[in-house]
A and B are shown apart, each in its own frame.
Chain A
Amino acid sequence: MSILQVRDLTVTFPGGVQAVRGVSYEVSRGEVLGIVGESGSGKSVTSLAVMGLLPPGAVVSGSVTLHGRELIGVQEDELTRVRGKSISMIFQDPLSAFTPVYTIGAQIAEAVRVHQKTGKDKAAKRAVELLDLVGIPHPDARARAFPHEFSGGMRQRAMIAMAIANDPDLLICDEPTTALDVTIQAQVLEVLKTAQRETGAGIVMITHDLGVIAGMADRVLVMYAGRPVEQGPVDELYYRPRMPYTMGLLASIPRVDGAEGPLVPIEGNPPSPAALPPGCPFAPRCPMRIDVCDEEEPPLTAVGGGRHVACVRSREIEHKALTGADVYPLPVIPPSGAVRVPRERRATVLELTDLVRHYPLMKGAVFKRRVGTVHAVDGVSFDIAEGETLALVGESGCGKTTTLQQIMRLEPPQSGHVVVLGQDSARLGKAERKALRGDLQIVFQDPMAALDPRMPVGDVIAEPLRAHGRRNVAARVAELLELVGLSPEHAERYPQQFSGGQRQRIGIARALALEPRLLVLDEPVSALDVSIQAGIINLLEELKNTLGLSYLFVAHDLAVVRHLADRVAVMYLGRIAEIGAVENVYDRPAHPYTQALLSAIPLPDPERERARRRILLQGDPPSPADPPSGCRFRTRCPKFARLGEAERRRCVNEEPSVVRLANATGERPDHGAACHYAEEIEVIPASDDQEEK
């Protein structure tokens, strides 16, 4: 029996913009419905409408019934009774869900008391129980903590505790793990599964991460331009998508489990809800578009097996068993000339030796005094050969961004050396530093923040050229715009007239203006939607090969790293835990942290995702102001927990440094890990095509 039934839900915002145009779904007890879509697809608005949380002015029509009771159009106070009792919502940003001035325990107890008649003590006790259930250590002590004293992952758990306080029948999770690091995401997803088991609630899981959905959901709803375009059981939908958009989406994601070759990009951008195309909303980007597609919007029709598809050619797709790779034109990326030369014989473009960056930790408002040291980067060494991509991965706070800044500043580091193209940053004169800046450029993460909003993009790209006194600026700007796949006529527009992916292309054009040899990429695709991301990754790969660039690539998305990088360095608390060629590190990780990291990444492959066993890490990373003695990872190391007393002593007392593994093989044998008891194991199940090999 279904708990929640949504029929023909539409949401119209003031100004006549239809953000949601006819969404229908139902959720049964204990079932997880995944809703996927890119930003602007209306997936979040849908759930806000279900909760009755839309801002006044938004017109909602259609029907939402909970246990057969209509929720649309009922009085606010009645809705309040339902909200938090029968339906709870979990947001992306847990900080906004808690009031900063009350303790976590008090707020959860409050949530209990609003809907149940219980005494204060009992409610407080229940709050502690709930915190325990979601895996917060020392729940009775932590209940007395304030929201800001919790880390992001703990806050998200506390929010789950609050959401299930009243045994709701339905949990709506809106991007519940998007703001979290992968190892924390794995913990929180585990907690969600526990919560569901405890309460037997149905879950509506809204996310853009196809991996998360693959592991959690029973059924999936794909949204595009405010409407569901495909719906069905998770396995069916992932293995046999029948709508070109879903097919493209699934083919466009890079995967941690290998699969070489260019990604399938979906050209163009999602339509704006104010200016929808007349027929199928996906038609302008669809490689299978035929004339009838433009005539009218194809309705979502049942095709059997619980599946619904909105595409006129779905039968044909089914019949011919087409996949994304078949229908989308694959870009051809020219091979790189540099990689044919063995690594040892290529020039080194960047070399870091024992780089250190400590910050003083200050306290006090009037009289500042130093109370400690933040060990942001604590002895990092690596090098990058010409034409190579080194990825620096790690979770937030591991020091990867600080490392970048130290390189980009081109100033003498606190300790250690930064050598860029053979020049030591400590020995640079002013003019040399400026000249070297032309060879070392950066692409930032957030394509909006990285471009001056008040500058036409022509000026943005011309800025480095003018600063370095280049001639023929206008011609070069046009050339660069074309190089990154934009039209030169766009030079007079402002950054916000472009979509996110286009802005990132502008950022890349600016970085390439001075023909650098080393490009630093600071999370270049993490702010982009999946379908756009593939295009940028392909562009980066192509530029690298045609222009002979080297990349230093900072990312937290290990799937993107696997696709783009040649070598990878895993950082933990300011030090390198493991470094080596991508194949070696991904297929045979040796450091327990790398193993946990890799096993935490959800695969967009339902069967294998369900079959996987995760290495779950305990707790949060310690603060870099107070790293543990000896091995920094020992507080969370699953291996440390299994070691004997004598062996443990070594982890506690002696800090491991990166040593080359004995049986490192392949063309690139420099696979090293900073663990006393390093041991290679496989954590990502090999994909089918790899098994065949």
Chain B
Amino acid sequence: MRSRVVLRRLLRNRQARSGCLALILLVALAYLGPYAGPYDWTDKDFLAFLSPPSADHWWGTTSIGQDMYAVTLRGMQKSIVIGVLVALISTGLAAMVGAFAGYFGGWVDRLLMWGVDLLLVLPSFLIIAIISPRLRGASWLWFVVLLAAFTWMITSRVVRSMTLSLREREYVLAAAYMGIPRWKIIFRHIVPNLASLLIIDATLNVSAAIIGEAALSFFGFGIQPPDVSLGTLIAEGSRNATGYPWLFAFPAGLLVVLVLSVNLIGDGLRDALDPGSTS
């Protein structure tokens, strides 16, 4: 019944609807858009270096004559997947580890929190740097896993402390007295009551992952040239943002729209899950 009620509330929510629509349009643009453009992202037009947007090159060209339209959409394909996957994995992991540690307490708690603290003190950048070369050639999806593995710890600590207080609530006790297994109580009563926190965390993680990926690419890990992502394009374009604004404006604009649509979906989901809101 809960899933049905939540779904109905979600569909009724204007924000969520427009967010979903925007995200669908963005995905369509990323995957179908390239077919509409005159150039492929690997093509180089040696007659137009750094030319501003025109009828031929809709979004201008880069310093080596790539068509910005084709390249940006190619980058967006990667970035959408990276952003959404990293957010889902890291928030999900944070919720699980935090809730289990907080609810079970005792040695489970100590072990999990010891792991969290270890990951927090280890310089994640260093580890990614060490592991990345080994993953060269492997699917870039590994990179998603790696990025997610280093973003969840702080949230899981927050989740744990919130679980500690939720654990004492009477409805959790009631469930235990009904004979419901403890892992089920976590999924049914603890995690849903952390929904607001988790959704905010996930939406923040989407943009953080896209930008974070760029930083790593810049240092030579993650998405490598000639392949591109929104992150790498923004990093590249920002250097010449004043002279050649189209190099920066289009990828950055798409990132903003992407993050906004994810935020809208997140807000809508939060309202749909929160029985207190009437919207």
Contact = CB atoms under 8 A, between A and B. Distances in A.
Contacts of A446: 170
B170 A408 contact: no
A40 to B, nearest CB: 18
Interface string B162-204: 0000000111011101111000100011001101000000000
A497 B274 CA distance: 12
A454 B273 contact: yes
Given A449-B170, A459-B2, A495-B275, A454 B175 contact: no
B243 interface: no
Nearest to B174: A450
A392 interface: no
B275 A494 contact: yes
Nearest to A407: B177
B193 A454 contact: yes
Contact of A456 (B2, B170, B175, B274): B2
A36 interface: no
B271 to A, nearest CB: 13
Given A433-B179, A495-B275, A450 B5 contact: no
A462 interface: yes
A454 B195 contact: yes
B225 interface: no
Contact of B5 (A438, A444, A456): A456
Interface residues on B, range: 20 to 34
Nearest to B274: A454
A452 B179 CA distance: 16
B137 interface: no
Nearest to A408: B177
Nearest to B278: A497
A496 interface: yes
A369 interface: no
Interface string A459-474: 1001110011000000
A451 B171 contact: yes
Nearest to B181: A467
Contacts of B106: none
A497 B277 CA distance: 11
A510 interface: yes
Interface string A486-526: 00000110111100000000010010001000000000000
A455 interface: yes
A442 interface: yes
B171 A450 contact: yes
Given A444-B174, A494-B275, A453 B193 contact: yes
Interface residues of A, number: 35
**Quick one: which of B173, B184, B192 has the most chain A CB within 10 A?**
B173
A463 B1 contact: no
A442 B174 contact: yes
B178 A452 contact: no
B255 to A, nearest CB: 32
B123 interface: no
Interface in B1-17: 1-2, 5
Contacts of B195: 454
Most chain B CB within a 10 A radius of its CB, from A437, A452, A462, A507: A452
Given A455-B2, A455-B192, A463-B180, A496 B275 contact: yes
Given A433-B179, A459-B1, A492-B1, A454 B275 contact: yes
A451 B188 CA distance: 12
B173 to A, nearest CB: 8
A73 B171 CA distance: 47
A452 B1 contact: no
Interface centre among B171, B175, B195, B275 (most CB of A within 10 A): B171
Contacts, number: 74
A406 to B, nearest CB: 12
A496 B193 CA distance: 14
A467 B275 contact: no
Q: Which of B1, B178, B193, B276 has the most CB of A within 10 A?
A: B178
Contact of B275 (A442, A491, A497): A497
Contact of A491 (B1, B169, B189, B273): B1
Nearest to A495: B275
Contact of A452 (B5, B171, B177): B171
B260 to A, nearest CB: 27
Contacts of B175: 463
A450 B170 contact: yes
A449 B171 contact: yes
Contacts of B188: 452, 455, 463
A464 B2 contact: no
Contacts of B180: 463-464, 467
B169 A449 contact: yes
B178 A467 contact: yes
A462 B1 CA distance: 10
Contact of B178 (A458, A463, A492, A495): A463
Nearest to A513: B178
A527 B1 CA distance: 29
Nearest to A520: B177
Contacts of A468: 178-179
Contact of B179 (A434, A454, A458, A507): A434
Contacts of A454: 2, 192-193, 195, 273-275
A503 to B, nearest CB: 11
A47 interface: no
A462 B274 CA distance: 20
Given A453-B193, A454-B192, A496 B177 contact: no
Contacts of B193: 452-454
A434 B174 CA distance: 14
Contacts of B178: 437, 441, 463-464, 467-468, 514
**Residue from B2, B169, B170, B188 with most neighbouring chain A CB atoms (10 Å):** B170
Contacts of B2: 454-456, 459
Contacts of A497: 275
A452 B191 CA distance: 11
B114 to A, nearest CB: 17
Nearest to B192: A454
Contacts of B169: 449
A437 B275 contact: no
B186 to A, nearest CB: 13
Nearest to A452: B171
A495 B179 CA distance: 22
24 contacts: A408-B177, A437-B178, A438-B179, A440-B177, A441-B178, A444-B173, A445-B170, A446-B170, A450-B170, A450-B174, A454-B2, A454-B195, A455-B2, A456-B1, A459-B1, A463-B178, A467-B179, A467-B180, A492-B1, A492-B5, A496-B275, A496-B276, A497-B275, A507-B174
Given A449-B170, A452-B171, A463-B178, 16 more contacts: A437-B178, A438-B179, A440-B177, A441-B177, A442-B174, A442-B177, A451-B171, A452-B193, A453-B193, A454-B192, A454-B273, A454-B274, A455-B2, A467-B178, A467-B179, A468-B178
Give the 4 A-B CB pairs with smallest separation, nearest first: A494-B275, A437-B179, A434-B179, A450-B170
Interface of B: 1-2, 5, 169-171, 173-175, 177-180, 184, 188-189, 192-193, 195, 273-276
